[in-house]
Chain A
Amino acid sequence: MARIACLGMMVPALLAAAPASAADAARDAAWAERLGWGPSAAADGGPAPGSDAWLRHQLSDPPAPLPPAAQAQIDAMRISRERVAALVVETDAMQRDLKAITDPDQRKAARQAYQKTLNGLADEARQRFVLRALYSPDQLRERMTWFWFNHFNVQAGKRDIRAMVGDYEETIRAHALGRYRDLLEATLRHPAMLRYLDNDQNAKGKINENYAREIMELHSMGVGSGYSQQDVQELARILTGVGVDQKPDAPKLKPELQPLYQRAGLFEFNPARHDFGTKHFLGHEIKGSGFAEVEQALDLIADSPATAHHVSLRIATYFMGDTPPPALVDRMAAKFRQSHGDIAQVLRTMIRSREFGGAATGGFKEPVGYTLSAVRLAYGGRDVTNAKPIINWMRQMGEGLYDHETPDGYDLSSAAWSGPGQMATRFDIARQIGGGAARLFQSPDAAPDAPPPPSPPPLLKDSPVIAARMATLGKPTLAALGQARSPAEWNSLYFSSPEFMHR
């Protein structure tokens, strides 16, 4: 992999290697907007965006390393150094211990320590996500990781999911460009999903339909696609016994059930909690056999034409905006079926289509995409040492990382994010990012009221990316930029412009 990552070396935007021509630079920037988190202030070498070699790399090569400074921040995190099972066992023990404390003050302190530990783990995951989005050369994988996380949404705030959410995202990242069927099962086997949708409580005679319903409705086939309430109930029965266990030892089981027991990390299939009756699911009879029933059900779900269409439509909407061309979605769905859910092939079908290439923009930026693209453009060549302001900006705009409460994930439509109140908030944030965003370069441990280090605003106007884009800006935007009284104001106006709101 002959990619030279020259990020993180304090290279000011101005010194980034100049592309061959302004037209090339504009085209490269457009690809970076459409398929990644936006063009960076740092050039990242490698094949030209949009070229076959670039697409091959984005879709199939193993991930390229991050710049050392960003990687060092990630390596120092607890979520990098410790296994998720150990973190969950530890925080669970904290919670149990605090219940035993009788002194109210000590108990309060113990509860705060417990919450702080859990919050710290979720915050690490958020920071890691931001660092990768800012600096990873694998921009398409990063975009798809966010897409799939949102598709298979969990909320960090529920129960102890904060301790698991980083690992959950890693699991998704590993499958983000692989096979849908594998991704579906990876989320099903993850304790974060099992806790979030209550399947760890779903047992024979104590049926809980929550997860079964959302698999069908949100994760795969889509509501109104032909499955019935009966199918939901049958899938819930199939999923009985699929849960989470953090105890060191397997439960005591009757000898005939022991071979059916499964355990992998925190994931557990407990046959003693499973309903072994025959099920009728999506027109097929599934004989009671244990976890093999889940595999059968997932095969049926993943092979369903409704799933191919629903997932393709979601992907196309994410990359192309509100109303992707139906004919293209149909071709993506056909590729999905023909390739047995090979996500990279579905993406290639979309990216290489006439419709994608001919579209003027990739749609309105949602808050996460807006924030990341502004920070990459302004500061992608510097080392962000404190990602917290970025995380807070996303939250202020209503799209906090891992914060969405319900399993449908954040809305993909532009109307959800372009309302009057949200635009006003966005302009505030544009001003903060454009003005130097000094807190990004503060020590993450600094006191909240400590003065941040000086950080002059970047000279965005002179950056090659902007220079290449000036020709694409409308007259009103150019006129407003012409009235800017300072670099900070120029940046804020640029980040507030209608052109920058769209990919």
Chain B
Amino acid sequence: MRNPHIHRRDLLMGAAAMAPMVMAGRAFAAPQAGSRLLVVFLRGAYDAVNIVVPSTSDFYRQSRPTIALPRPDPANPDAPLPLDADWALHPALKDSILPLWQAKQIAFVPFAGTDDMSRSHFETQDTIELGQPVGGHRDYGSGFMARLADILGTGEKPIAFTDQLPLCFRGGDDPIPNLALANVGKPIDQRQATLIQSMYAGHPDLARSVSEGFTVRDTVYKTLDQEMKAASRGAVSAKGFALSAQRIGTLMRDRFNLAFVDVGGWDTHVNQGGATGYLADRIGDLGRGLAGFAQAIGPEAWRSTTVVVVSEFGRTFRENGDRGTDHGHGSIYWVMGGGVSGGRMAGEQVPLSAATLNQNRDLPVLTDYRALIGGLVGRQFGLSASRLAPLFPDSRTTDLRLI
């Protein structure tokens, strides 16, 4: 199927929503089985324990004299909101994430992360996105989301909502589209698009990237056309991540089922704040965005959607000299979705004390991210162990029965 002209025309005739459109080997149509996965990457290593707070730990408050959140207290608006006997949620997530917890549609996995001890943002982000064993030779041409797309085969509809193609989506059998949702513009005139594609016919690296680019631009533009027209007439529209997340919800309801988005700005070495302040503002935005995503995707699609929120590592358990935190190790991941068995803290845990910290500095990792995501994906997409094997080579899955 290498005649992009025909398929573009079909697409423009409005058949896209119903009939599968095969463009450069990839189908674009409403998801069949309906399973959807969104990976949200918090780049910069978010300070997990100030968001999902070990609220009964005195050690926590002693370690963070200025930034710790107080004990849960219904009378105190700055206090975290109890999740269970040991953990509580940052108050900035009260209206967005807490209702999901109460509906048992979100679980938190504390002590989660990688076995990468470099504490380098970039090294560890790469570690996660590549999903290859630490210490071996790295193949930068094979990200785990791209491998998942390949395992699932021709029915999958992957996309990265980023302005660059992230490492996790590089190296698939077919090029995976990326699109920054803030930049969606009217697609180029069809005649010129056809001429441009003709120049790339047979180009080893770029031919499919180019045709995929035109297709995805058309697809997204059509889906978001109404919303963009409303926005351009001055309708109040969400901003920043909240806007992107809503748009992602709309697009994943109808068009895509395997998606990635990243949110930066979590590297809080200085003045990160506590119940209010910099980190509270950011996490509030994130929570509103994710709640908006769940709403936009709609109740039906939400039932078969899983959202996994990860970050490259946690931060020092103790605050640093500048009312912030430095690079640490274990983090707390989020798993949410209409079909998630949530309302609980999942995975292995240890009591927090100086003795249980990793290198007397940060959280140990007890749930490996590869085992966690492998287990989730296996259940969600019904993949046998042998089909799942290439996703995270040399890794065992952990089935936390979250789906």
Contacts of A24 in B (CB 8 A): none
Question: Is B188 part of the binding interface, using a Cβ–Cβ cutoff of 8 Å?
Answer: yes
Question: Is B183 part of the binding interface, using a Cβ–Cβ cutoff of 8 Å?
Answer: yes
Say yes or no: B216 contacts A208, CB within 8 Å: no
Among B180, B206, B320, B321, contact of A418 (Cβ-Cβ < 8 Å): B206
Question: Is B309 part of the binding interface, using a Cβ–Cβ cutoff of 8 Å?
Answer: no
Say yes or no: A424 contacts B175, CB within 8 Å: no
Question: Is A431 part of the binding interface, using a Cβ–Cβ cutoff of 8 Å?
Answer: yes
CA–CA, A203 to B200, complex, Å? Answer: 56
Say yes or no: A421 contacts B177, CB within 8 Å: yes
Contacts of A40 in B (CB 8 A): none
CA–CA, A414 to B170, complex, Å? Answer: 11
CA–CA, A500 to B34, complex, Å? Answer: 41
Could you say which of A88-96, A167-175, A350-358, A488-496 contacts chain B?
A: A488-496
Contacts of A78 in B (CB 8 A): none
Question: Is A406 part of the binding interface, using a Cβ–Cβ cutoff of 8 Å?
Answer: yes
Question: Is B322 part of the binding interface, using a Cβ–Cβ cutoff of 8 Å?
Answer: yes
Number of A interface residues at 8 Å Cβ cutoff, please give it: 53
Question: Is B326 part of the binding interface, using a Cβ–Cβ cutoff of 8 Å?
Answer: yes
CA–CA, A474 to B207, complex, Å? Answer: 14
CB-based nearest B residue for A236: B326
Say yes or no: A479 contacts B198, CB within 8 Å: yes
Say yes or no: B214 contacts A406, CB within 8 Å: no
Q: What's the interface size class on B, roughly?
A: 35 or more
Question: Is A234 part of the binding interface, using a Cβ–Cβ cutoff of 8 Å?
Answer: no
Say yes or no: A493 contacts B175, CB within 8 Å: no
- Chain B nearest CB: distance from A294 CB in Å? 19
CA–CA, A406 to B266, complex, Å? Answer: 10
Question: Is B382 part of the binding interface, using a Cβ–Cβ cutoff of 8 Å?
Answer: no
CB-based nearest A residue for B118: A223
Question: Is B54 part of the binding interface, using a Cβ–Cβ cutoff of 8 Å?
Answer: no
CA–CA, A418 to B326, complex, Å? Answer: 34
CA–CA, A468 to B210, complex, Å? Answer: 27
CA–CA, A418 to B213, complex, Å? Answer: 10
- Chain A nearest CB: distance from B1 CB in Å? 16
Say yes or no: A421 contacts B322, CB within 8 Å: no
Among B164, B178, B270, contact of A201 (Cβ-Cβ < 8 Å): B270
Contacts of A415 in B (CB 8 A): 140-141, 165, 170
Could you say which of A110-118, A123-131, A209-217 contacts chain B?
A: A209-217
Say yes or no: A419 contacts B44, CB within 8 Å: no
Among A405, A411, A493, contact of B164 (Cβ-Cβ < 8 Å): A411
CA–CA, A205 to B321, complex, Å? Answer: 7
CA–CA, A198 to B215, complex, Å? Answer: 44
- Chain A nearest CB: distance from B216 CB in Å? 6
CA–CA, A363 to B85, complex, Å? Answer: 57
Say yes or no: A431 contacts B192, CB within 8 Å: yes
CA–CA, A29 to B321, complex, Å? Answer: 54
CB-based nearest A residue for B196: A496
CB-based nearest A residue for B161: A421
Contacts of B198 in A (CB 8 A): 476, 479-480
Q: 9 A-B Cβ contacts within 8 A?
A: A198-B270, A201-B270, A202-B321, A398-B180, A406-B121, A408-B121, A420-B212, A424-B216, A496-B196
B residues within 8 Å of A by Cβ? 43-44, 118-123, 140-141, 160, 163-165, 170, 175-180, 183, 185, 187-188, 192-193, 195-196, 198-203, 205-206, 209-210, 212-217, 264-265, 267, 269-270, 320-322, 324, 326-327, 359
A residues within 8 Å of B by Cβ? 198, 201-203, 205-210, 213, 217-218, 223-224, 229, 396-398, 405-406, 408, 411, 413-425, 427-428, 431, 474, 476-477, 479-480, 483-484, 489, 492-493, 496-498, 501
